[in-house]
């Protein structure tokens, strides 16, 4: 066993003395040591129940003959961090989580790991760590929140943010906003729509790193506790069979993830996280492949914010495996891949039928013949830009309008709420990318303000920052190269005509080559917004969003 390095033989007697100090018995030390990575905390609603999930995992590990040992991972609540300095610290935690988990797993020579994440950067951070450490690992998330109910209608966090925009437009009273605040998020769990957390927990199933139901069983269901116990038992099987993350997360597994991503209509943040996870697994996942996969993958689900159904309903309809089964009817998946269930994808999804064609459209009757996410390119985004196509109004799939340019999120919000943005405008928010932010803030506040004020079918928003999975509308993010490194988004001026064609996957602004070069000659790089602490180090090391905003290791 790998853990023999810290527990067996005379040389390891000092180590055993420390295990004795932990209260571990001789019998426990004779068993494999299984690290349980607990993301429990009391600030993230999606994590407040993880202590119960961890306890269930511990029972499962012990029942199957292992010794469970818990250690922590951090997590940021994107909703609480939204719209202020805190959002700069969201994406950057992905690497802190991966690094700290690697450090704990390697320093203590665990034989296997059970990852217990739930929210936005916590899930990809732990998937990155799993690929990097590459010892037998299985995931069990904390599960999604149930949808809220207001006036007999289901609702969620995205409606809450849009209510603020409606209030600014005089369409909702303060009392009505407070009613939303008290009812939109009724339980623990990751927010109830197909936002980033639920997107990544669903894609963890698709990648093969989580068991059936990992992405969809609601946090408050007892079934979630049973799933956690099974995950604890399953790690012992993976250890026995020596099935490791890099055996599971292969190039074909990432193609499967992109395919199901398109069918589900996942958060655009998946276009940051999947390449970053793939990088740790030794797979080069170029975003160019995304449009190729999207072109042949029908969009089968319109979950909030794209529609009015929620993760709990996806679960009732058969969950992720049912979606995969629909896709497999047209042979769109690689089904011979091994997974953390100990079985192949084909074995996993066999018999997992679609129980509700209103929630999961049959593949013969999709919402669209192409996938839910599009990668755009053009003279405004020579590397890439990303949009959640399934959440864009039909009339905004092709749009042309004047640029309204802002160099930070706050200025844009003030203009939107101040009534300075009108029908037809294209709001440009720049210097909010991975380096320029730093930290690539989510722009849920501006997109929600646009939707809440009734401008969602006439106004587009473009940024080198990113969007929450709760954003909807013609919200185009991840523009790369970003403004901070001299990308053309830095050269856009007020009133320039911007041309968006999502069906054609293009994003351009109208400018001659001569004028573009003249503006480039006058452009002066901005002084860094942050010059000390972790954010400064992150800004120095982070790469383009088109590469997943991974950190580039300096070569000495």
> What pLDDT does 444 receive?
87
**DSSP bridge partners of 335:** none
Residue tagged active-site, from 156, 448, 468, 544: 468
Helix, strand or coil, per DSSP, at residue 42 = coil
> What pLDDT does 556 receive?
61
- CB-CB neighbours of 512 under 10 Å: 8
Nearest to 133 by CA among 107, 100, 98, 102: 102
> What pLDDT does 162 receive?
85
> What pLDDT does 277 receive?
98
For this structure, is 468 an active site residue? yes
Q: b vs e for 212-227, b when ≥16 Cβ sit within 10 Å of the residue's Cβ?
A: bbbbbbbbbbeebbeb
Q: b vs e for 160-180, b when ≥16 Cβ sit within 10 Å of the residue's Cβ?
A: bbbbbbbbbeeebeeeeeeeb
> What pLDDT does 452 receive?
86
> What pLDDT does 168 receive?
83
> What pLDDT does 121 receive?
96
Tell me the C-alpha distance between 300 and 370, whole Å.
10
Tell me the C-alpha distance between 204 and 261, whole Å.
11
Asked if residue 438 has a cis previous peptide bond (ω within 30° of 0), the answer is yes
Write out 115-182 in H/E/C secondary structure.
EECCCCCHHHHHHHHHHHHCCCEEECCCCECCCEEECCEEECHHHHHHHHHHHHCCCCCHHHHHHHHH
- Look up residue 498 and give its DSSP letter: E
Asked if residue 481 has a cis previous peptide bond (ω within 30° of 0), the answer is yes
465, containing H or E segment: none
> What pLDDT does 471 receive?
84
pLDDT tens-place values along the chain, 556 residues long: 999 999 999 999 999 999 999 999 999 999 999 999 999 999 999 999 999 999 999 999 999 999 999 999 999 999 999 989 999 999 999 999 999 999 999 999 999 999 999 999 999 999 999 999 999 999 999 999 999 999 899 999 988 888 888 888 899 999 999 999 999 999 999 999 999 999 999 999 999 999 999 999 999 999 999 999 999 999 999 999 999 999 999 999 999 999 999 999 999 999 999 999 999 999 999 888 999 999 999 999 999 999 999 999 999 999 999 999 999 999 999 999 999 999 999 999 999 999 999 999 999 999 999 999 999 999 999 999 999 999 999 999 999 999 999 999 999 999 999 999 999 999 999 999 999 999 999 998 899 889 888 999 999 999 999 998 888 889 999 999 999 999 999 999 999 999 999 999 999 999 999 999 999 999 999 999 999 999 999 999 999 999 999 998 776 6
Tell me the C-alpha distance between 154 and 445, whole Å.
21
Tell me the C-alpha distance between 549 and 331, whole Å.
32
Q: What is the pTM of this model?
A: 0.96
Q: Which residues contact 206 (CB under 8 A, 6 or more apart)?
A: 253, 256, 257, 260, 261, 320, 324
Q: How far apart are the first and last CA of the chain?
A: 34
Tell me the C-alpha distance between 177 and 142, whole Å.
28
């Amino acid at each position: 066993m790998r853990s023999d390095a810290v527990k067996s033989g005379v040389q390891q007697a000092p180590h055993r003395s420390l295990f004795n100090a932990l209260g571990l018995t001789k019998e426990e030390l004779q068993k494999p040591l299984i690290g349980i990575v607990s993301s429990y905390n009391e600030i993230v609603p999606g994590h407040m129940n993880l202590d119960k999930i961890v306890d269930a995992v511990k029972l499962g590990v012990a029942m199957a003959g292992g010794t469970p040992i818990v250690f922590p991972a951090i997590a940021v609540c994107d909703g609480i961090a939204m719209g202020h300095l805190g959002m700069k610290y969201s994406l950057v935690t992905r690497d802190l989580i991966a690094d700290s988990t690697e450090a704990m797993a390697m320093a203590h020579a665990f034989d296997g790991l059970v990852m217990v994440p739930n929210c936005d950067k916590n899930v990809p951070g732990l998937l990155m760590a799993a690929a990097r450490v590459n010892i037998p690992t299985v995931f069990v998330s904390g599960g999604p929140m149930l949808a809220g109910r207001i006036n007999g209608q289901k609702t969620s966090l995205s409606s809450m943010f849009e209510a603020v925009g409606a209030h600014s437009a005089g369409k909702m009273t303060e009392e009505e906003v407070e009613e939303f605040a008290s009812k939109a998020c009724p339980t623990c769990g990751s927010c109830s729509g197909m936002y980033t957390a639920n997107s990544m927990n669903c894609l963890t199933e698709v990648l093969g790193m989580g068991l059936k139901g990992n992405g969809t069983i609601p946090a408050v269901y007892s079934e979630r506790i049973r799933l956690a116990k099974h995950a604890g038992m399953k790690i012992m099987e993976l250890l026995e069979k020596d099935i490791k993350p890099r055996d599971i997360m292969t190039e074909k597994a990432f193609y499967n993830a992109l395919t199901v991503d398109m069918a589900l209509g996942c958060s655009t943040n998946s276009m940051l996280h999947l390449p970053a996870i793939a990088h740790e697994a030794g797979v080069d996942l170029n975003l160019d492949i995304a449009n190729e996969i999207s072109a042949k993958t029908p969009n089968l689900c319109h979950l909030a914010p794209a529609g009015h159904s929620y993760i709990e309903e996806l679960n009732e309809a058969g969950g992720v495996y049912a979606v995969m089964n629909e896709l497999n009817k047209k042979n769109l998946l690689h089904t011979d891949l091994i997974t953390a269930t100990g079985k192949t994808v084909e074995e996993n999804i066999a018999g997992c039928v679609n129980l509700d064609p209103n929630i999961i459209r049959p593949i013969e009757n999709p919402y669209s013949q192409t996938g839910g996410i599009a990668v755009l390119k053009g003279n405004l985004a020579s590397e890439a830009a990303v949009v959640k196509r399934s959440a864009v109004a039909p009339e905004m799939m092709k749009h042309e309008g004047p640029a309204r340019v802002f160099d930070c999120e706050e200025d844009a919000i003030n203009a939107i709420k101040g009534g300075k943005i009108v029908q037809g405008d294209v709001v440009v928010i720049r210097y909010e990318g991975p380096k320029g932010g730093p930290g690539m803030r989510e722009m849920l506040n501006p997109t929600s303000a646009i939707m809440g004020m009734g401008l969602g079918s006439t106004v587009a928003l473009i940024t080198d920052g990113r969007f929450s999975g709760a954003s909807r509308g013609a919200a185009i993010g991840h523009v790369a190269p970003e403004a901070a490194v001299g990308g053309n988004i830095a050269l856009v001026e007020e009133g320039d005509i911007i041309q968006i064609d999502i069906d054609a996957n293009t994003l351009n602004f109208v400018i001659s080559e001569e004028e573009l070069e003249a503006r480039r000659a006058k452009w002066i790089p901005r002084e860094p917004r942050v010059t000390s602490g972790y954010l400064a180090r992150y800004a120095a090391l982070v790469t383009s969003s088109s590469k997943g905003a991974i950190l580039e290791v300096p070569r000495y």
